[in-house]
A and B are shown apart, each in its own frame.
Chain A
Amino acid sequence: QVQLVQSGAEVKKPGASVKVSCKASGYTFTSFDVSWVRQVTGQGLEWMGWINPNNGNTGYAEKFQGRVTITRDISRTTSYMELSGLRSNDTAIYYCVRERGGFDPWGQGTLVTVSS
């Protein structure tokens, strides 16, 4: 079945960077864009950016421009989201999602905790 499996929880200090991975299976990886969405505990969903796995083109939300980088490794059918300059308010669950008219499926989420 189609699924996205993300890497495990991370704890980082303010100012550090985090890189979350998202391995796709059950479909042709290069045929669908992948987006990254985050959710601060108790708050709503926030779209961060997307990547076209076929050509590597990316687009980012203005809020994260300059701090987020989304990449992919076709041979590993894996997308990566790296967020730099971490702050306490970046503590959130980060999801990868496949774009197919809507976002489906969703990865299981990766909790990133930023704490000194």
Chain B
Amino acid sequence: QSALTQPASVSGSPGQSITISCTGTSSDIGYYKFVSWYQQHPGQAPKLLIYEVSNRPSGVSDRFSGSRSGDTAYLTISGLQTEDEADYYCSSYTTTTTVLFGGGTRLTVL
């Protein structure tokens, strides 16, 4: 199975909004609600930002939001802050009871 497809990099200025896409197939993102997003700063373990497409765990800023359309999921970060500069990964369950990750997107806050 191939990894989910994410853009390698995105950038934005403080205060702006950005959206990261994550494209899969009808056997993963398009099938299950179990789509998640993670933030990883250098040298740290990933942190869960969004689960089940659009739900935020307690303690995660409401500047982070998730959505899905067909086989593609989206992570939107509004009101960009310098501390948002990190790598972002999406993941999804698949119909073969496995999990796929996206290749990751490096966010640069200019």
Give the interface of A toward B (CB within 8 A): 35, 37, 44-47, 50, 59-62, 95, 100-109
Contacts and interface: CB of A to CB of B under 8 A. Distances in A.
Interface stretch (B18-26, B74-82, B99-107): B99-107
Given A47-B99, A47-B100, A104-B47, 13 more contacts: A35-B99, A44-B3, A45-B46, A47-B98, A59-B97, A60-B98, A61-B98, A101-B36, A101-B52, A103-B38, A104-B51, A106-B46, A106-B47
B98 A45 contact: no
A103 B3 CA distance: 17
Give chain B's interface secondary structure class: strand
B29 interface: no
Interface in B45-63: 45-48, 50-52, 55, 57
B72 interface: no
B102 A102 contact: no
A45 B36 contact: no
Contacts of B102: 44
Contacts, number: 63
Interface size class of B (residues with CB under 8 A): 20 to 34
A103 B45 contact: no
B65 interface: no
A102 B100 contact: no
Contacts of A61: 1, 98-99
Nearest to A4: B45
A93 B99 CA distance: 18
A50 B57 contact: no
A44 B48 contact: no
B46 A101 contact: no
| Top-5 shortest CB links A-B | A102-B51, A102-B36, A104-B48, A101-B51, A106-B45
Contact of B45 (A35, A47, A95, A101): A95
B45 A107 contact: yes
Nearest to A57: B97
A77 B97 CA distance: 24
Contact of B91 (A103, A105, A108, A109): A103
